[in-house]
Chain A
């Protein structure tokens, strides 16, 4: 496959463990370059399905439906020629908006025009069953499994017309078939639910509280999808005999636990899917528990490979490799040194947990826990320079002291502010001093 980005993989860690030490942490940074950082990639085949919620509630207020239609039309305009696409409307059922039958069609001036005209005819009615929408998308992508596959999922409400088990089953069935970015418009949808959907589809989740912001957001999502040059990249992690891989987490641009997505890949190795890539860089936190060694021994605690599956039955490609090491030492200066990147991203993951737990406790009426957890979040956001999250926290708590995390819960919090904080809690920043 020509036109693949150049991938590099770098490992940051302190490999030194004290006598008896077993826990090894490392930050794996994957960077793809050699494709245009902005603008569409011409060489890669791509498929796009745009799903907009057309349940009855989209009519309240009316601006929601019209904004969603305009946003979807903008997304259609952002597709480069030749991209196979479809537009789906979702309620308790899923229906083709364009083309009329269940298939994808290549984008060109004529199909774009037809799709936009069809969108103008969409009328809101009925309930919400996100899994049903995704099943239709999955069928549409089935004939296009070799290139970039991306879906946009827009909803404004809770998943009321199917059971959580049905949704989970659909998510399991769709996993790996396409990447799905999810957006909640308004404030009547469920953050945890949409986060679960985005997590299963390796996509992002965000809130668009004001429907008028949908157009810009859809354009950005589609353009990002058009910038992807290679799909289905995986991190293959080998660990030694008697070691335990405790977790593999994406830590930029947001925290996402990949541990449960492991697919066995030969002796002592497993693949963790990391989706489609354009010119970008992401970080992963790997934690391995190794059997205790003796002073002076060095162990490969994890062998990390970036793997691209062979297209059309071809050979898989190993794009880059790196070693996570463990070496036991009795030199305390070495074993106690903290790798700044590991520390930073450990803090960012804790920040996401603290916010989500704090907001849940607040909902449950456990105000002591809510105050403690959100206070901790304030301190972590402040220390790590995560200004976006600090700003969102500001709207939910009154801050007495950033440095100690002393806060009071605000009495009246806008629903949109609370949901924004919840949705964006997992967004991370790299180190404060621009240290990549």
Chain B
């Protein structure tokens, strides 16, 4: 008879199967379908919750690297190099005259941080677009959207099914939104995710002030930014969304850019490496013309610098003088 060729085993039960079988004789597993292979050991059985049933490694997820485009704006979110999952999330929604964008960063020490950031970003962006369309003022819409996102995160109580994290802190995340309208943008935030104005020719600036220990020290005048940044507590955040957040008091600010450039909305995975607005502007000179490329470039920059944290970058172009957000007629969705 035929010589033994390649040894084949059932992906479900690991018992040997013959080359011509369509189903495993032992357990009934279908053998001819496409199989996902473990990225580490090549095992062919991945459990429903995403772990290889041979070597145990958690498989890469779709959220490890995502790119979105909407209303002429673009965003990139990446797991980075040092974390096992992407706990950042972003959402971009087109509006009649621009875009609503939200970036959230799940708090790693809380339970289910990736769920917190996901629901906050989705809820916030949808609320912004809806309220803006209904004629609410941009600042009022921004505040209401934060409140709704906060409620959604606070509603995520306890661990999902089982707790492998120390199940103390309820799910929580940071939040920063940008809503363009006319020639202006309204930003709102809680935590230390940031928005910047990157000017192509003029002066670039940071639009947000962190709710962080360092941010408080700088705002109160107790320390210079450089001093505060060197302190071990620098990045401890002092406000967040979550069931333990207390009453939310978002910062809201409306900014009218002067000239061509882009609004950058990002998590600390980017700004840890490039904190200053002029540096960011210099690193992405084509942001107004090619927002996706700019978001990719900035993300790569953070990865090359070490990628210690999850990285999320959203770029919203503004063009001409007087500045006006670019509104392409058709592109939709996120």
Contacts and interface: CB of A to CB of B under 8 A. Distances in A.
B55 A242 contact: yes
B164 A11 contact: yes
A293 B84 CA distance: 12
Interface string A286-306: 000010010111111101000
Interface string A1-23: 00000000111111100000000
A243 B85 CA distance: 23
A290 B13 contact: no
A15 B56 contact: no
B57 interface: yes
Contact of B57 (A10, A15, A297): A297
Contact of B58 (A10, A238, A299, A303): A299
Interface in A313-344: 321-325, 327, 329-331, 337, 339
B55 A298 contact: no
A307 to B, nearest CB: 16
Interface of A (DSSP majority class): loop
A240 interface: yes
A323 B49 contact: yes
A110 interface: no
A15 B54 contact: no
A303 B163 CA distance: 13
Interface in B169-219: none
A266 interface: yes
Contact of A300 (B43, B51, B166): B51
A323 B84 contact: no
Contacts, number: 78
Interface string A234-249: 0000111111000000
B81 to A, nearest CB: 6
Interface in B131-187: 162-167
A329 B162 contact: no
Given A299-B56, A300-B58, A15 B13 contact: no
A267 interface: yes
Interface string B65-102: 00000000000000111111100000000000000000
Q: Is the interface of B mostly helix, strand, loop or mixed?
A: loop
A268 B85 CA distance: 26
Of the four ranges (under 10, 10 to 19, 20 to 34, 35 or more), the interface on chain B belongs to: 20 to 34
A238 B58 CA distance: 15
Identify the interface centre among B13, B84, B162: most chain A CB within 10 Å of its CB: B84
B14 interface: yes
Interface in B39-61: 41, 43, 47, 49, 51-58
A267 B52 CA distance: 13
Interface residues of A, number: 37
Contact of A13 (B14, B47, B57, B164): B164
B54 A241 contact: yes
A241 B38 CA distance: 13
Given A266-B13, A297-B84, A325 B57 contact: no
Interface in B211-264: none
A321 B161 CA distance: 9
B55 A267 contact: no
Given A267-B14, A296-B84, A329-B82, A301 B162 contact: no
A49 B120 CA distance: 60
Nearest to B9: A267
Contacts of A295: 81-82
B57 A9 contact: no
Contacts of B57: 240, 293, 297-300
Interface string B1-37: 0000000000001100000000000000000000000
Contact of A9 (B14, B51, B85, B162): B162
A5 to B, nearest CB: 18
Contacts of A322: 162, 164
Contacts of A339: 166
Interface string A262-278: 00001110000000000
B58 A241 contact: no
A290 B57 CA distance: 11
Contacts of B85: 298
Contacts of B55: 240-242, 299
Contact of B164 (A243, A266, A323, A331): A323
Q: 7 closest A-B pairs (Cβ-Cβ)?
A: A240-B56, A298-B84, A300-B51, A267-B14, A300-B56, A298-B58, A299-B56
Given A296-B83, A322-B164, 11 more contacts: A12-B167, A296-B81, A297-B58, A298-B57, A299-B56, A299-B58, A300-B51, A300-B52, A300-B57, A303-B51, A337-B166
Interface of B: 13-14, 41, 43, 47, 49, 51-58, 79-85, 162-167
17 contacts: A9-B162, A10-B162, A14-B166, A241-B41, A243-B56, A293-B57, A295-B82, A296-B82, A296-B84, A299-B51, A299-B56, A300-B51, A300-B52, A301-B56, A322-B164, A331-B82, A339-B166
